[in-house]
Structure formats: C-alpha cells, structure tokens
Amino acid sequence: MSTLQTEHREINGVKVEITRVGEGRIRRVTYPGGFRWSKDMKPTVKTDSCEHTHVGYIVEGSIEITYADGCRAEFTAPQAVVIDAGHDGRVTGNGAAVMIEFDFEGETARRFGLPESHRH
C-alpha cells in the first residue's frame, strides 16, 4: 500500500495540484476567470503558444482553444478534453475553469499516441 502525495503549486494565478502516479501525473488545474494563456502565461513560458498536450476532463467552467491555423475548440464541464500542443487557451464565462489532467510531462503526446502538435 502506497500513499499518494500531492504537491501544490501556483503559477501566474493558475493553481495546480500534482500527484505523481508511476511514470505519469494526475493534475487538478484551476484556471481563474479571465485567464488567457497568451496574456498570463506566455511572458513566463516564452514560447509562441502553449506547447503542452492536455488530456483530461473539465469538471467546472468553460474554455476556448485557438490553434495557430485558426481552428477553434470549446470545452464545457462536464466533458472529456484533448488539446494538441501549439495552442492559445482562455477561460470563457465568469468563473474559473477546473480541469483534471493526465500527463507524462514532456512525453504526453507520444505516450497517448497523439500528434506532437495540432494537425489535420
């Protein structure tokens, strides 16, 4: 019997609770109302777009994703979420958006068999 340990982080107003599981992680991520990646995170991350693959479930609120080629996706709780790397994202509506995300840090796309970035 092992005990799961959860680490709490906050970056630019985004609260993240991280639980490591084997080679992966379960993360509960709270994006505050009004959050937009390109405004709130880009200056810290210093990439053109969010280069993370997001796989999980939105349990509260709504988000809108925009890819560099103009494709858009919207997710509203309760709903499964898959977002390819190479996107901007923002919280829509008034409140926060809460996501449960599963990742393998830099290997998330490969481990899930997803493309390394948005394509058709």
Residues binding Zn ion (CB under 5 A):
67, 69, 71
* Minimum gap (Å) between residue 28 Cβ and Zn ion: 28
Nearer to Zn ion, 10 or 69 (CB): 69
Give the count of alpha carbons within 13 A of 74, CB side only: 5
Nearer to Zn ion, 11 or 68 (CB): 68
Task: Determine contact, residues 52/89, Cβ cutoff 8 Å.
Answer: no
Q: How far apart are CA 120 and CA 118, in angstroms?
A: 7
Least Cα distance to 35 among 54, 68, 11, 59 occurs for 11
The residue number with the shortest CB distance to Zn ion is 71
Nearer to Zn ion, 21 or 71 (CB): 71
Task: Determine contact, residues 109/118, Cβ cutoff 8 Å.
Answer: no
Nearer to Zn ion, 11 or 71 (CB): 71
* Minimum gap (Å) between residue 65 Cβ and Zn ion: 11
* Minimum gap (Å) between residue 115 Cβ and Zn ion: 11
Least Cα distance to 99 among 80, 71, 72, 119 occurs for 80
* Minimum gap (Å) between residue 63 Cβ and Zn ion: 17
